[in-house]
Structures are given as C-alpha cells and as structure tokens.
Amino acid sequence: MPCLRKDILETLPPNTFNPSDCFMKKIYDINRADNMCYQKCLSHDNLCPLFGECSETDLDTSGLPCTDQSTAGRQLFEEGPTGPVFAAHAKYHVEKRTKIVITENVIDFWQS
C-alpha cells in the first residue's frame, strides 16, 4: 500500500520559515532547509521514510489548498498563508525527482 501523508509542510523541519515574512523570503528559507527523513504515514500508521529506495515513486497526486487563489477567498495568492505549501511541495518533488506530479487545480489559479 502506498504512503499517504497529510501535510507537505511536515517534510520541513519545524520553524523553517517565519509565517509573517513575504513569500520570496519563505521560499528562500524553504529552499535552504533540509527535508525531514521521515514523516507520519496515514496508510501505515507509522513514520515512513521520505527518501531512499523504499520510498521511490514515479507518480504523486496531491490536492493543494486553493483558498488563497479562489474567487471565494481573499485572493492573497502567494502572499496568503497557504503559499508555503506550494514551495514545500515543489522542493520535495524536485529533490525526490518524481517523474509525474498531478495536482488538483482550478482555472482561476492559472489565469491570475
């Protein structure tokens, strides 16, 4: 059974970025941080490795929060509280070299 993880921000060490900083500073801090080695897995009810042979995968599907992009939300875009999720998601998959990443999206996200 594949691993199922709840929060991509848990791939980063605690306090990696300051929530009150601007988005570019958060990206800088996230990119400088090392990823965690293990994360709580909902499938296995255990700490599962994030990297290494036993964690290799060619495909990831994720639903990233769109509240900061949504017309129903405050439209803070990358400066909103969910901005770091996108940076952490990208960092994780770049480091992991995931071949195919499928993310849920809404049309307004790509038009903004």
Residue 38 — very low, low, confident or very high, per pLDDT cuts 50/70/90?
very high
Beta bridge partners of 60: 101
DSSP string, 30-84: HHHSPPPSEEEETTTTEEEESSSGGG--SEEEE----TTT-TTTT--GGGSTTHH
**Quick one: tokens of 34?**
């090392």
pLDDT single digits (tens) 91-103: 999 999 999 999 8
Go through 38-54 and write b for each residue having 16 or more CB atoms within 10 A of its CB, e for each that does not. ebebeeeeeebebeeee
Residues with Cβ within 8 Å of 74's Cβ and at least 6 positions away in sequence, in order, are 68, 80
Q: What is the model's pLDDT at position 106? A: 61
* pLDDT tens string 48-107: 999 987 788 889 988 888 788 777 777 888 888 899 999 999 999 999 999 999 988 666
pLDDT at 107 (0 to 100)? 62
Measured on CA atoms in the order 86, 87, 93, 96, is the torsion positive or negative? negative
pLDDT digits (tens, 9 = 90+) for 6-31: 999 999 999 999 999 999 999 999 99
CA distance 80 to 73: 10
Question: Is a pLDDT exceeding 60 seen at residue 3?
Answer: yes
